[in-house]
Structure 1
Amino acid sequence: MYACAGLANTATTAVVIIGLMHIELGTVPSNFAGYAVGLLLSFVLNSRYTFRANASGAMLVRFLAAAGIAYVANLIVVLATLYLTGAPRISQIAGMPVYTIVGYLVNKNWAMKG
């Protein structure tokens, strides 16, 4: 189920990022906005369907911390790839699986635990 939630979240995030880059918002602001939109969708899908957890305020705080950790890992890859390739769209694509993998591991092992 995490894969399905992840695909929906990734598609939504990518559409927002690419749309904002298309209007030349910039690499980092587009990345941030895309992940912010995807964050809300991710919490709903993952708490209800993936981890079947009873959402609580404490869980939301842990989820946001997990998302922050995943986002920092993503942004490191995005900026490193941008530096190495000079290709903004490729850098965004390179960062997405990093966010997904780190997010899953932190959520599974900490954030979505009762």
Structure 2
Amino acid sequence: MRQLLRFAVVGVLNTAVGYAVIFACMYLVGWGAVVSNIAGYAVGLVVSYTLNRTFTFRSAAGKKREIVRFLSIFMVAYLANIGVLMLLIDHLGMHKGWAQLAAGAVYTSLFYVLSKYYVFVEAHSEATSR
């Protein structure tokens, strides 16, 4: 349960940092919304990986493999998020706000499970064998 709480804290932090970068790029640097969004997500992913590796899962495994896996599960979780969002809005007629919350829950749940059992699996294996 503590690990899930740490994961949530990291999620809030990387989201805040990502949005700070997005708005700084748009309003201080003068970049467009799309480029600013890309920059914010890139910084947010670095923060997320770093904090999840060191704080949430406390991994000591090889970084190269973990980074590739981390980026892979981000894409899987993000595509699941978009798929659920489109399904709920376009096919089930759900309100867009509620659909965003539901799709976000799918993204977060999938990202946590895949992080724990695929990206940081060695850290998880060591923790359960103690």
Which residue does the alignment assign to 2:86? 79
Cα distance per residue 1:49-77 (max 9 Å; x no partner):
00001251011011111111111111112
Q: Is the 8 Å Cα contact of residues 74 and 98 (structure 1) preserved in structure 2?
A: yes
- What is the aligned residue count? 109
User: Is the counterpart of residue 38 in structure 1 residue 44 in structure 2?
Assistant: yes
Structure 2 distance, partners of 1:100, 1:49, is: 17
Q: 1:66 aligns with which of 54, 69, 73?
A: 73
Change (3 A) 1:32 1:99: farther
Shift in Å, 1:44: 1.1
- Following superposition, the deviation at residue 12 of structure 1 comes to 4.4
Measured in 2, the distance between the counterparts of 1:81 and 1:34 equals 27
- Which whole-Å CA distance do the structure 1 matches of 2:95 and 2:111 have between them? 26
Matched, 1:7 2:23: no
Distance 1:66 1:77 in 2: 16
Deviation of residue 99 (structure 1)? 1.2
Unmatched tracts of structure 1, length 5 or more? none
CA RMSD, aligned part only?
A: 3.6
TM-score relative to the length of structure 1? 0.68
